Amino acid sequence: MLSVQDAIDRLSAAAKAPTETETLALADAVGRIAAAEYRAIVNVPSLDNSAMDGYAIAFAPDLFLPTSFPIVQRIAAGHVGTPLQLNEAARIFTGAPIPPGANAVVMQEDTEADGETLRIKHGVVVKPGQHIRRAGEDIARNAVLVQTGEQINAARIAKLAAGGIGAIDVFKPLRVTLLSTGDELTEPGTPLPEGGVYNSNRPMLLAMLRELGCVVTDGGMVPDNRAATEAALSAAAAKSDVVISTGGVSVGEEDHVKAALSALGSLDLWKVAIKPGKPLAFGRIGTADFVGLPGNPVSAFVTLLVLVRPYLLTRMGAAHVQPRSFTLPAAFDKPKPDARQEYLRATLGPDGVGVVGQQGSAMIAGLAQADGLVEIPADTPIAKGQLVRFIPI
Ligand code: AMP
Ligand code: MG
């Protein structure tokens, strides 16, 4: 059996990084991977500006604060004022540039003004620099906004925009075709024949792959016979970078993926020391890579997340491919170790990571109940309070 890390490493070693790029407007780049580094062309904020609606004042910090200031100008956001003399005030609004000479903003609530004269309320203390956002304090000009290999999300889009970047180069998306094998599979929303099973892997994996940023094509359901499997695989391979299937990779007589792949291209069948999971197929058909996930829904979910996700992200051009994880205390005992590395469906509670009741590899309810997976290394018993790795899902 291959260890989990060996399986991840083998897959990643076979994953070539993308080369083709395209330029997209920021909002269209969500989920895509940056193909270049971008730096701020301006300071953010570009000028010192007011953090409050109120009055910018020029005062001498070492002297008593005057009781009143003449209001000599009004500065709204997007407009630039003129220099303030000592003991003068400017009406100012949030985001408006601080006029030269001003050294504090007094918030409106601390003042009384009649339009011509500003009075600061009794007892209000004014500190030099207060309520002023400094130029470049958020992002300095020329600071890196996004690095090559970072996945673009809403927050990074905001950062790029604030730094003056309107469009970016991203890698072309990875085209994935998903196939579901199994004579028993039935489309949800249609009546279930006797012996049928609703196809839950298909929408689950379509959702996971889309969330990851792949462009996914649904290759449909493939009956359990050699000819249909070969036809579906070669059609899928012709129009995708990666073909992913579920089921049919065990050693049963109705598992046709191995034979079909061997005829069309090449295939390695791995036994990975992972639970749930174990059988995983990796191969090639023409110019496409092929990944065969196990049929049990929880196994398909876990193997996609743990083993295949790093490979897919590498192929997408991502620099960070490991799932986010947290080290937390176990709120459960698991005295019996397993020879395989386990991923239990887990929930977060006040005492740390708990495990859901239904852990079978076909138990979808337990998966839906889980906040994440807890990783239990092979041959390792776990006692309450011990630190474990938690991967949110
Ligand atoms: P297999 O690997 O083809 O032997 O399938 C293992 C188990 O997973 C069987 O109980 C299948 O019925 C089930 N299974 C396979 N594919 C799916 C699917 N797409 N949705 C739900 N269950 C599935
Ligand atoms: Mg099957």
Nearest CA among 32, 237, 276 for reference residue 150: 32
Q: Does 219 lie in the same domain as 266?
A: yes
Asked whether residue 333 is assigned to any structural domain, the reply reads yes
pLDDT in tens, 314-345: 999 999 999 999 999 999 999 999 999 999 99
The single residue listed with the structure tokens 């695989």 is: 233
What contacts 40, CB < 8 A, 6 or more positions away?
Answer: 139, 140, 141, 142, 143, 145, 162, 163, 164
Question: Which residues form the domain of 67?
Answer: 49-133
Decide: residue 252, CB within 10 A, 0-12 exposed, 13-18 middle, 19+ buried: exposed
290 contacts 284 by C-beta, under 8 angstroms: yes
Distance 182 CA to ligand 1 centre (A): 7
Domain boundary among 78, 112, 133: 133
Helix 257-264 × helix 226-238 angle, to 10° = 50
Last residue of a domain, one of 289, 316, 343: 316
User: How much is the pLDDT for 140?
Assistant: 98
- From atom 15 of ligand 1, which residue's Cα is the shortest distance away? 295
Distance 319 CA to ligand 2 centre (A): 35
Same domain for 32 and 167, yes or no, is yes
Give domain status of residue 62, yes or no. yes
CA 136 to chain CA mean position, Å: 27
- Residues 144 and 269 both lie in one domain: no
Contact 213, 153 (CB under 8 A): no
Is the distance from the beta carbon of residue 283 to the nearest atom of ligand 1 less than 6 Å?
no
Residue 124 CA to ligand 2 centre (angstroms): 75
| pLDDT of amino acid 393 | 94
Could you tell me if 144 and 121 lie in one domain?
A: no
Domain boundary residue, one of 316, 342, 368: 316
Ligand 2 center to 181 CA (angstroms): 6
Based on the fold, state whether residues 150 and 191 are members of the same structural domain.
no
Pairing of strands 274-275, 341-349: parallel
Supply the pLDDT for residue 249.
Answer: 86
Q: Is the CB of 177 under 6 A from ligand 1?
A: no
Decide if 321 is inside a domain: no
Helices 309-316, 201-212: axis angle to 10 degrees equals: 40
Atom number of ligand 1 nearest to Cα 202: 19
Instruction: For ligand 1, pick from 179, 181, 197, 224 the residue to mutate: most ligand atoms within 8 Å of CB.
Output: 197
Inter-residue long-range contacts of 313-316, CB under 8 Å, 24+ positions, other chains counted:
313/212, 314/12, 314/15, 314/17, 315/15, 315/16, 315/17, 315/18, 315/174, 315/241, 315/242, 315/289, 316/18, 316/33, 316/171, 316/173, 316/174, 316/212, 316/213, 316/214
Pairing, β 89-92 against β 68-75: parallel
Ligand 1 neighbourhood includes 245 CB (under 6 angstroms): no
Which are the contacts of 106, defined by CB distance < 8 A and separation ≥ 6? 54, 55, 57, 118, 120, 124, 126, 130, 131
| Tokens 């003068």, located at residue | 88
> Tokens 């889980």 label which residue?
370
- State whether 366 and 263 are in the same domain: no
Do 216 and 308 lie in a common domain? yes
Kindly report the CATH number assigned to the domain that includes residue 243.
3.40.980.10
Tally of structural domains, the chain: 4
* Residues with pLDDT less than 70, the chain: none
CB of 199 sitting under 6 A from ligand 1 = yes
Q: Are residues 299 and 340 in the same domain?
A: no
3 pocket-lining for ligand 1 (C-beta < 6 Å): no
Which ligand is nearest the CA of 362, by number? 1
> Which helix (H) or strand (E) covers residue 143, if one does?
none
CATH number at residue 34: 3.90.105.10
- The string of pLDDT tens digits covering residues 50-85 is 999 999 999 999 999 998 999 999 999 999 999 999
Nearest CA to ligand 1 atom 6: 295
Residues around ion ligand 2, judged by CB within 5 A, are 182, 247-248, 295
pTM above 0.85, yes or no: yes
Whether 276 is in the pocket of ligand 1, judged by its Cβ within 6 Å, is: no
